[in-house]
Amino acid sequence: MRFITRALTGLGLTLATLSLLGAAGWHLYSTMSLAETRSRPPARERTFVVDAGKLTKTNIAPVINAFGQVQVWNSLEIRAPVAGPITKISPNFREGMSVGAGDLLFNIDPELAERRVTDAKAALAQAETELNEAAMTERHIESEIEAAKAEADVRMSDLERKKSLFEKKLTTSTARDDAILAVSAAQQNVVAKERELLALKGRIDKAEAGVARARLTLSDSERALSDTSYRAPFSGRLSEVALTLGRRVSQNEKLGLLIDPLALEVAFPVRNSDFGNLLDLADNQKLSPLKTTVALDLSGKSVIAEAVLDRPAAVASSQAGRTVYARITGGEINVLRPGDFVEVSIALPQVDRVAVIPADAATLDGRILLIGEDGRLKEHTSRIVRRQAETLIVADVPFGATYVERRLPFLSRGSKVDARNVKDVGKGSSPVAAVAPADPPSKALDEERRAALIAFVKNGSKISTDRRQRLLRELEKPAPEIRVIERIERRMTRGGTRS
């Protein structure tokens, strides 16, 4: 009994100890949890900071920009018309020189051509002499034929008379027979003369053919002689010149290329969606005569030329686009050269009641994010009218509403945002000019802003060396172009280093 009593006592003490330890642990846990709850602030909804703009109604003339290469549609390969050594070369017959129509370019030794002209003249004189002799002989034979016919007529009259006398028994049969033989001989003489005349006519025809051949040979010889002095058929600029004094050239050997500097066109690719906007509404087989400009960048100096859409290529360049040709008509066309890589701007008809937004503000199907009065996002589907460079021209939007300029992946319908840099897109703007002006608009910069732009360009890791140098030269000007400033600041806002 004493053993059981002690065991129960020990068990009770153990249970009491464990209970006290459990109570102490629970009290400690409750105290720590309450302290943590009191120190933690209440949870708040996350607000995203976004760049925003206002949708402003405007009228704009879209512009299709592309890059192409200048080509020439009127050129002439200068080839040696005759063989021989070069005896004279014009000072203007050099690479890149301009020549006028009729200017002498080079001379080929004319000695052989002159000898051929002399031989042709002698052959012509001989052929004409033979023809004259044949003509004189013809006239003589015709006279002999007339005399023979007259003699035959006399013999026939004498035969009739003797036949009458023979019937009257006043002459003999011998006299009658002699008269018959004389008539026959006269008639044979006429026939012989006529046969001789026919043979002479064949000789005359042959002589006339010989004269014609001799004249043709003389004409060819004289033309070959004139070809020894090569003159420019039209005004142009020389290229691919390969000729030296004393060099012996062969006939039809290429010596250079004459290019008409005013017969230039530019070939450039456009997307299929843009190509549909270039077709003539009256005839889908033709292009609309839209006003086009061609710009060539010569290290900061822009060369502007006017052009007009001419025709599409016969074969599609790719499944995604077409090649279009524009004929250059005016402006600084004299500065352009075949092979120049130029920028082409095509002005499209004006569209009304649209808004211009950045390309990053909408999805491919035109969905944009609008900011409500409570700061929450809501989605709206717009209609994309044109895609132009880094902007979109959209319609069917609530003008005056605020939208997100860059649609980031974490932004969605219902998210709360804090709009900054809210600006009116297109406010007070007039329709965009269809063509680039001769002098792009510029803007003076303060030194702090200029230094920030220059630093961003120098630190851009994805900017090519040539592009970096051009941008730095432009920023060092007292008044850089506005489009360059805006493009760099847009990259700085996005935090990128592209150009």
In this structure, of 13-22, 38-47, 51-60, the range with the lowest mean pLDDT score is 38-47
**pLDDT tens-digit map of 468-486:** 777 887 887 777 777 778 7
pLDDT for 435: 34
Rounded to whole angstroms, what are the CA distances from 58 to 224, 395, 396, 423? 69, 10, 13, 15
Q: Domain map of the chain by residue range?
A: 64-70+260-347, 81-109+229-259, 112-227, 440-499
What does the DSSP assignment read for 317-355?
Answer: SBTTEEEEEEEEEEESGGG--TT-EEEEEEEPPPEEEEE
Residue range 64-70+260-347 in CATH 2.40.128.690: no
Q: How many CB atoms lie within 10 A of CB 20?
A: 10
Question: Per mean pLDDT, which of 181-185, 193-197, 355-359, 434-438 is the most reliable?
Answer: 355-359
Pick the CATH number of 112-227 from 1.10.287.620, 1.10.10.10, 1.10.10.410, 3.40.50.300: 1.10.287.620
Residues 423-427: contacts with CB under 8 Å, at least 24 apart: 423/53, 423/54, 424/53, 424/54, 424/56, 425/53, 425/54, 425/55, 425/56, 425/355, 425/356, 425/357, 426/56, 426/57, 426/58, 426/60, 426/355, 426/356, 427/54, 427/56
What is the spatial distance between Cα 295 and Cα 435, in angstroms, rounded to a whole number?
10
Range of lowest pLDDT (53-57, 344-348, 429-433): 429-433
CA count, 13 A, side-chain hemisphere, 69: 4
Contact 149, 190 (CB under 8 A): yes
Q: Is 331 left (phi over 0), alpha (psi -120 to 50) or beta?
A: left
The pLDDT confidence band at residue 428, using thresholds 50, 70 and 90, is very low
For residue 38, what pLDDT band results from cuts at 50, 70 and 90?
low
Smallest CA-to-CA distance from 330 within 261, 253, 379 is with: 261
| CATH hierarchy code of domain 81-109+229-259 | 2.40.50.100
Tell me how far apart the 2 most distant CA atoms of the chain are, in Å. 219
Mean pLDDT of the chain: 80
Neighbours of 267 (CB within 10 A): 16
The CB density around residue 245, as the number of other CB atoms within 10 Å, is 10
The pLDDT of residue 433 is 35
Q: Summarize the confidence of residues 314-326 as an average pLDDT.
A: 74
Q: How is residue 359 annotated by DSSP?
A: G
Specify the range with the lowest mean pLDDT, choosing from 115-124, 254-263, 489-498.
489-498
